[in-house]
Copies of this chain bind each other. A is one copy, B any other.
């Protein structure tokens, strides 16, 4: 077995790079919330989206993440006893494409560029939505490759998307480090043979049954500094 001499970082996008709280206003509007604060409904929607993505990944057949996102909107609306028009759903889908990066993202990516570490983005989002997200956030040029999990025929945390990236870059799985703010994502990557770095954003935790990441930090800058040290 050859020794890993390459380090390539594979970044999750939603919540890890992009700030979903950018959706709170549009959720407040489309759900007609009195104080226009859609945070709690937006969090419920994203939890439901991940749930539906996992159920689909377990039971098949493949459904793209955009369709799952809309389906989760419908369930969230049922639970809120709120009637959603097609225009409301589209308003949220459009807002997903224009999310801002978390404030620690640009400094962290600067640090990693300085260390000359190749960077990949790997999201469950559809290719079209993913490209729009990174372009609108001004991050496209930061990445050497931008990959939708959809290319592999399954969504994270199934092994296929992680191994698809390794195969298409011609590297061993353990030369890739998944960087994510989701324990399900780092766990999936670790079980597929990658290494992983966890960003402990507020409310995010590694569960006792999850695989332990190689690196963890409270901000992406903290994580980037640790990863740059590993690379040097």
Contacts and interface: CB of A to CB of B under 8 A. Distances in A.
Interface string A183-213: 1100110010000000000010101111000
B54 A207 contact: no
A51 B51 contact: yes
B187 A55 contact: yes
Interface in A7-61: 47-48, 50-52, 54-60
A58 B50 CA distance: 13
Contact of A54 (B58, B72, B210): B58
Interface residues of A, number: 36
B68 A209 contact: yes
A59 B209 contact: no
A188 B58 contact: yes
A84 to B, nearest CB: 12
Interface in A61-81: 63, 67-68, 70-72, 74-75, 78-79
Nearest to A47: B47
Contacts of A50: 51
A168 to B, nearest CB: 21
Given A51-B51, A51-B184, A203-B79, A208 B71 contact: yes
Given A51-B50, A51-B184, A184-B51, A56 B205 contact: no
Given A55-B210, A58-B188, 5 more contacts: A47-B51, A52-B209, A55-B187, A57-B58, A60-B191
